[in-house]
Amino acid sequence: MKNIIPPKEYKLLKKLNTPVKIQDFLDSLKINFEPEGDTNFSPMTVLEKGVCHCIEGAVLAALAMRVNGQPPLVLDMTANKNDFDHVVAVFKKYGKWGAISKTNHAALRYREPVYSSIRELVMSYFHEYLDDKGRKNLRSFSSPVNLKRFDRLGWMTTKEEVNYISEYLVKVRHFSILNRNQIRNLRLADEIETRVGQITEWKESGIV
């Protein structure tokens, strides 16, 4: 792998040898507001531009994990029509699951490796997965997807967009977290919860 990834980028990724370091690095990158339309930047492009949104950050995090001997796993969480999906990189430590997350919002962030199952990890995002009307919109999740399946397409080193990763995450099997009765009886988040959900880290100004 060292002979595949360019030396400068390999050296940087090699230093990101823990989930905490990877998360801290992602937090230092600006949010990609996609001013010119939808993007699926590759890890090399993210490092070049210094910007990313959730799936771009998750794929970069997965690559950093792989460079440091861990499986490159990402997880898709899907919302209803009122909200957007969210993608995180997931990892296991001492038998428990955690998540690395690039987000512009206050709550959908890093998760410590304290969760016994993927569902348990996903549910830690449920009450914070709000829209501006206080609706709780998280509905399903995928199993962890190992990005090694895309090695033949060069996802680790290309500067082309990696649309095939997002396309796969859309079609892979997802597991529902609520039934109809549970959905029908959801309480709207109160005013304070909703206001917290509206806190963002980066302000859109027309420039990413």
Q: In a structure prediction context, what are the per-residue pLDDT tens digits for the chain, which is 208 residues long?
A: 655 899 999 999 999 999 999 999 999 999 999 999 999 999 999 999 999 999 999 999 999 999 999 999 999 999 999 999 999 999 999 999 999 999 999 899 999 999 999 999 999 999 999 999 999 999 999 999 999 999 999 999 999 999 999 999 999 999 999 999 999 999 999 999 999 889 999 988 643 3
Q: What is the pLDDT of residue 112?
A: 98
Q: What is the pLDDT of residue 2?
A: 53
Residue 85, number of CB atoms within 10 A of its CB: 20
Question: Which burial class, exposed, middle or buried, applies to 96 when counting CB atoms under 10 A from its CB (0-12, 13-18, 19+)?
Answer: middle
pTM of the model: 0.95
Tell whether the torsion through CA atoms of 115, 116, 119 and 123 is positive or negative.
negative
Q: What is the pLDDT of residue 91?
A: 98
Q: What is the pLDDT of residue 204?
A: 80
68 neighbors 81 (Cβ within 8 angstroms): no
Pairing of the two strands 111-115 and 96-100: antiparallel
Q: What is the pLDDT of residue 144?
A: 98
* Spacing of C-alpha 65 from chain mean position: 14
CATH of domain 7-197: 3.10.620
174 neighbors 108 (Cβ within 8 angstroms): no
Q: What is the pLDDT of residue 152?
A: 96
